[in-house]
Chains A and B, each alone.
Chain A
Amino acid sequence: MSTGSQEHLRRAQQSSGAGAHTSVHPLYQEWVGYEAHDVHEEHEEPLVDPQLLANALGWFSIGLGLVQLLAPRAFGRAIGVGEHPVLVRAIGAREVVNGIGLLSQRSTGTWAWSRVAGDALDLSLLAIAARRPAADRDLQRLALATSAALGVTSVDVYTAQALARVPVSEPAEMVSASCAVNSSPQALYAFWKDLANLPRFMSHLESVTRIDERTSHWVAKGPAGMSVEWDAEIVRDDPDEGFSWQTVPGSEVTHEGTVRFDRDLAGRGTIVRVQMRYIPPAGRVGRQLGRLLGEDPQAQIEGDLRRLKQLIETGEVATTIGQPAGRRSVLGRVTLGRRLQ
């Protein structure tokens, strides 16, 4: 394996923020020859899990917001701003929305920053309240409220910053699977090495075409006739034992894989071991690719190997798609999907 491609692989791994989602088969390091050390060790661990903090702030927002919505006058008097029910209710509504946003666990970072913005607004409202003529007798309450608001603001800022440091999770999982096939390593190597065979058992692939000795062009199926394409090169080749491939530098998609064909010790055919990873690019195409690779890349690769086994052993892939059936229920059509037509 060339140093250039090794460097490429390492770069790909780091850019994916891998480590947390990577379960590397011990053999894989040996095969591919790189250290799959935990990249996330380089991250500075936050003191408190920011997601937990975000949840706590979410509930705090909802609680405070409900008090403001239900008892705006009492709340106003308590913090020393006087009775401004409409304004306090508006602030309450904002708090509730913000709280639900934080708890929904979707784009938590944005909701945390939105809390910081709300804090700034609250602090300026408190400042205005302090300047009104009747403020003198409420001065103590106002001071208390302001220091409380300042305290909350600092927690909000901390949470928002910490959340920004958490790497966004990606569907860039490394998946691996193995399967005993009633055939010889030589036959399996020859079958797999002819990359045009891959779409016959890898259900998400449309085609793989050879460009030259080492490189090939891959097309993956997408929803609604969309497709994603990339070029891959073979980076390690052990005849009759296995090989590794990966996308060429600069591809939109990062994909890498290794397959090994180990003769079963008891002479019962061959154990095929595969390890693969797709790192989709950010943006629309990336999301599409993520979706077409399925919710569960592990199940996907297991299914692929099962089909490989069927193809090698029986010459065909077992199916029921296209067979007759009586009238289906709506539920049946939804659950069975294309599995049963």
Chain B
Amino acid sequence: MKAVCWQGIGQVGVEDVPDPYILNPRDAIVKVTATAICGSDLHLYDGYVPTMYRGDILGHEFMGEVVEVGPGVSNLSVGDRVVVPFPIACGNCFYCERELYSLCENSNPNAQLAERLWGHSPAGIFGYSHLTGGYAGGQAEYVRVPFADVGPLVVPESLEDEQVLFLSDVLPTGYMAAEQCDIEEGDTIAVWGCGPVGLFAIRSAKLLGAGRVIAIDRYPERLGKASAAGAEMTVNYEEVDVLEILKELTGGRGPDACIDAVGMEAHVRGVSHAYDRIKQAMRLESDRPAVLRQAILACRSGGVVSVAGVYGGFVDKMPFGAVMNKAITIKSGQTHVHRYMRSLLERIESGELDPSFIITHRLSLDEAPLGYEMFRNKEDECVKVVFLLVPRPSVASPISIPLS
């Protein structure tokens, strides 16, 4: 089969690899119909996540058709159309019982690696380095899905791939980022980063009752999509001082909650960016936490900083004095996708939400190297790249983009 493989820093290629087969009773094999590049794939592409090896198959956002199930899977049948959550969860452990699926204790075969770095291991993740299991990813024609009786969600034929694909990651991730803000009626929420996760965080914050959402980015096309997603204000950080403007907009108090939808490769204006670039290049700090610093400083006292952006290792110059003295609550985590999929699917089915508005580029799997490059460099106003492997005969009318 064809698969998108990591070939070194800044290099991916479509290679011919063997087809996957069932390795455990609770496995299923899914024939991929649509898959996407996630912003966090760029951290792998740029070489900021350790334990990537040449030949690793990338991709953790995918959906498709079940073509084979193991003897331990009774709730799926061959032919089912499913969306697969990016974290792999067993459904039986302490964390799975508490719906904290991304912390599953039983799905990372390389847990000892992660324990050395983080103290404990999170769940295994498709195509996301050997720290999180080294599982072959979904940017391929076929994928082996472990614990298939727990993860994959069957989606109705009436919905297009493009409408449900993002249930695998970015939609629940944006939703969880907003949910973590404990939004009360009328709250002001600031969102750093208007990529797919930031856009869905904005959309979700509005759904959860936020009074006002302030979106922060530097690309006009992304700020445009932020407005379309429901943000009342957009801030281009290259033009204004973010901390100043947030104070001004909130009468000096600061936003009730701040969402970091950027993560470890943050870019901000000014000296601190150069400082982090240099330290990261010298491997003195693994992550550039510029947005996180800013969010902590901007957040009102007693507020929440919700971290949806990915961090991998160590950060420097964290204003922890501000966290303590302002009584800030920091909430984070890989998304417990399984917990949100069903209710979000209902919102899509009812027409309340159409996640396909973030897509800017539809490519074939063979065009993956181009897709990565464009997405990485934000060329051609690229916000989200999807690879469509099997064009489906259109059941509904062509997808409209109601929000842009």
Contacts and interface: CB of A to CB of B under 8 A. Distances in A.
B72 A316 contact: yes
A contact patch SS: loop
B5 interface: yes
Contacts of A321: 23
Interface string A158-182: 0000000000000000000000101
Given A326-B56, A327-B15, A336-B53, A314 B26 contact: yes
A314 B106 contact: yes
A323 B90 CA distance: 19
B contact patch SS: loop
A322 B111 CA distance: 18
Q: Among the interface residues A309, A322, A326, A339, which one has the most CB atoms of the partner chain B within 10 A?
A: A326
Interface residues of A, number: 33
B136 A302 contact: no
B94 A320 contact: no
B57 A313 contact: no
B70 to A, nearest CB: 9
A335 interface: yes
A326 B57 contact: yes
A313 to B, nearest CB: 4
Q: Among the interface residues A269, A302, A306, A329, which one has the most CB atoms of the partner chain B within 10 A?
A: A306
B124 interface: yes
A294 interface: no
A326 B133 contact: no
B25 A315 contact: yes
Contacts of B93: 182, 313-314
Interface string B94-113: 10010000000111111110
B92 A182 contact: yes
A323 B136 CA distance: 7
A299 B15 CA distance: 35
B366 to A, nearest CB: 15
Contacts of B24: 316-319
Q: Among the interface residues A268, A322, A325, A332, which one has the most CB atoms of the partner chain B within 10 A?
A: A325
A327 B55 CA distance: 5
B15 to A, nearest CB: 4
A319 B23 contact: yes
14 contacts: A309-B105, A315-B26, A318-B107, A318-B124, A320-B109, A320-B134, A324-B17, A325-B5, A326-B5, A326-B17, A327-B55, A328-B55, A332-B53, A335-B53
Interface of A: 180, 182, 268-269, 299, 302-303, 306, 309-310, 313-329, 331-332, 335-336, 339-340
List the 9 closest A-B pairs by CB distance, nearest first: A326-B5, A326-B55, A332-B53, A326-B15, A324-B17, A329-B54, A328-B55, A325-B55, A316-B24
Given A314-B93, A327-B15, 4 more contacts: A314-B147, A324-B17, A331-B53, A332-B53
